[in-house]
Structure 1
């Protein structure tokens, strides 16, 4: 398997990765600051939560049509349009803040539209990665993308807090700069990111969207991953929420609770560095099943000891293997997807995950109120175990071998992915 060093020589992937790492830090920082600014202006916790909810709503709503766009138009232009709109939108908030004209409607509109931009960007980016990275380097590339997310998670909140303490509009100005860097780096990509020419009958967006959904739902492997991905996001994130809310109820200092998220972020970075090594030596299907069960035993110490150090250790251990599992199975899924469908397949999967994510804090709050912290964590651990049975009992997931074997069937040329029959498992054991 190629190393991080060999992938770094890929000019186009480096340009894409660097730009998005900076932009990801800026975006997560702004998501941390949005509720703070809203609360400072209104004193309402409900309106503070609404700003982030509007961003998630815009993101989820844009994903499915964005998949169609990514399979029809130049992905570089789509990504640069999304980044350019981020520059303008966040700059408008910074200017309004500097002039004392920042209002809640303005803040909410920007939160929603930047969510739309993020949802538009995502399918185009994954299609671009498939275009600029050879199939045998996909696990390493997606491991680096996992590292990017954890680095952003680790840095964004402290950075946002510092900038917000200086002046309320400064985080928005910094995010506008981060989007500008992304826009510039995207312009350095040399690979043609346009879809293959199409000479068939006139295409209808709704029909193309339905084609992507049918592709996912008609193939056991894709169907299982989509259902499992959405449900495991729901249960594991609810587990995170209960653990943190329980610490807050326990009266622990804010810095000690922040240590939990910092530990999870550091563990994710370490896991992302180790991911290519793990992926290379483990059958991808077995690795996916291991990820599905990884959080289940960790609920026991969290249920019986409501201490920041215990929660940090448990969540950190859970995050160690997560980047390898995500990168491994995502690499396989991208490699075996026809290039003309990558945008729609990716957007369908992301939409399924994002559409249930807002339910996580609701479920966490209800269980915590009704059962108490320890019982709520045990119940969510049981639900996570039930969800883990989905890939465990799926032959189409269990039978996926190591990358060295599945890459033997996937040409290095991104234009020639492996084709599979609709109702057959991807590989036999």
Structure 2
């Protein structure tokens, strides 16, 4: 990527301004196509490692709390240092940063695989490497997220964000199933090895990209106070601040699927690693559908994001009462669909609402509260699950998310000069947000 300080912000030449938008429009851009293919391969390895890592910790400790601690350690660096990753993404060449982060993630996978296969692994090794992965992710996540805009331009950005999510969760259909087979047949160590090797694919994709077809956004100059500048910017924008707060609640108390799924698989339904892999695959299938629907719909309206959050919370609560394994498994599809619809629409809306020179810091704050909330939420829901049972743990997580969604929706409605109208007359919309006054404040809700 040949960008430098002072370069003007411009969309990529391959933005395809006149082409009609379709579900897969972004794949017409060569650089994004290479990025997508490389990610498809590494994402399968990533899902294999996630399943194998959770199962390995469960085998070593027999504790849902330990699984929660592992998840927490992987996301703790995002909570501690997340904004620094955004500063680096705004300041340095994103393509070069991705070379470094992808290679580092591959090395950690290979190291955990060698420790496991050799029989020397213990839970503290897993904890340490999970923390290292988290440190790399602090830089990798905002860089990878904002690099998409450099490849496809603003018009295709919502579509590309949705396809990225579909890509990641399509791998969830394959990775967990393969991991389950490998764990049963030869042990989880080989899943870690495969994951480490899979990062060669995105590295090759980055090497093959055409620099001239990447946009050149203005890089943030090195100066003091860039973290505070990013926080002030978000604080001054309600259309950024309150969706990010909602993302924090959902990420902290709702996106703790590994903790609950392992507890339900082993403790409620007395099933094995293969069943746990199946649950992940089914949720991945729902996530793919949700991402593709978001890619086609292209909605960036805040109210749609809040509606998706409410639906996700409700499905969590319903799933907590599933009487049989097959009912619980089938509910993973709508759970994945609503979770991904929320995540994609929130991500795309926040990126597009941000100024290009601030986008790295804004998206890093988004990822910090989304992923960084897990170190707080995962041990808490793990403790509740261990002491009160998986059903209470999952139900309480869904209830907290639903209450937060309703409360924040009311805050935004008030800021925007809106009120809730309930009209039960035939032919009228039953529930709608309408202006409180004849001339309400402008809102993006």
Which one of 264, 278, 281 corresponds to residue 283 of structure 2?
Answer: 264
Q: In the comparison of the two structures, how many residue pairs are matched?
A: 398
Segments of 5+ residues of structure 2 without an aligned counterpart are 1-19, 418-439
Of 202, 207, 220, which aligns to 1:182?
202
- 1:410 matched to which residue of 2? none
Equivalent positions of 1:145-164 (< 5 A) are 145-164=164-183
Structure 1 unaligned blocks of 5 or more: 400-423
1:318 to 335, 344, 347: 335
Please state how far the C-alpha of 1:288 moved relative to its aligned partner.
1.2
Distance 1:260 1:83, change over 3 A: closer
CA distance in 1, matches of 2:317, 2:78: 34
Counterpart of 2:356 in structure 1 is: 339
- The answer to whether the Cα contact below 8 Å between 2:316 and 2:398 also exists between their aligned partners in 1 is yes
- In the alignment, the residues of structure 1 paired with residue 76 and residue 164 of structure 2 have an alpha-carbon distance, to the nearest angstrom, of 23
Deviation for aligned residue 1:344: 0.8
| Structure 1 equivalent of residue 429 of structure 2 | none
TM-score (norm 1): 0.79
Matches within 5 A, 1:194-233: 195-196=217-218, 203-204=223-224, 207-233=225-251
Structure 1: how far apart are the matches of 2:113 and 2:276?
A: 30
What corresponds to 2:430 in structure 1?
Answer: none
Structure 1 residue 32 corresponds to structure 2 residue 51: yes
Q: Distance in 2 between matches of 1:246 and 1:44?
A: 13
Give runs of aligned pairs for residues 47-66 of structure 1, distance below 5 A. 51-66=70-85
| TM-score normalised by length of structure 2 | 0.77
What CA RMSD, in Å, does the superposition of the two structures yield over aligned residues?
Answer: 3.5
CA-to-aligned-CA distance 1:129-163 (integer Å, 9 cap, x gap): 11111222122111111112212323222222334
Q: Please give the alpha-carbon distance, in whole angstroms, between the structure 1 residues aligned to 2:125 and 2:264.
A: 34
Which of residues 287, 291, 296 is equivalent to 2:308? 291
Of 70, 84, 87 in structure 1, the residue corresponding to residue 103 of structure 2 is 84
**Offset from partner CA, 1:335-371 (integer Å, 9 cap, x none):** 2211111111111111112232133343334444665
How far apart in 2 are the matches of 1:258 and 1:356?
25
Contact 1:19 / 1:181 at 8 angstroms: preserved in 2?
yes
Q: CA–CA distance in 2 between the matches of 1:322 and 1:94?
A: 30
Aligned to 1:328: 345
> Aligned ranges for residues 265-284 of structure 1 at < 5 Å?
265-279=284-298, 284=301
Q: Distance in 1 between matches of 2:135 and 2:444?
A: 40
Equivalent residues in 2 for 1:235-274, closer than 5 Å: 235-237=253-255, 241-242=259-260, 245-246=263-264, 248-254=266-272, 255-256=274-275, 258-274=277-293
Residues 41-86 of structure 1, C-alpha deviations (whole Å, 9 max, x = no match): x667587765554333345444221111111110000011111223
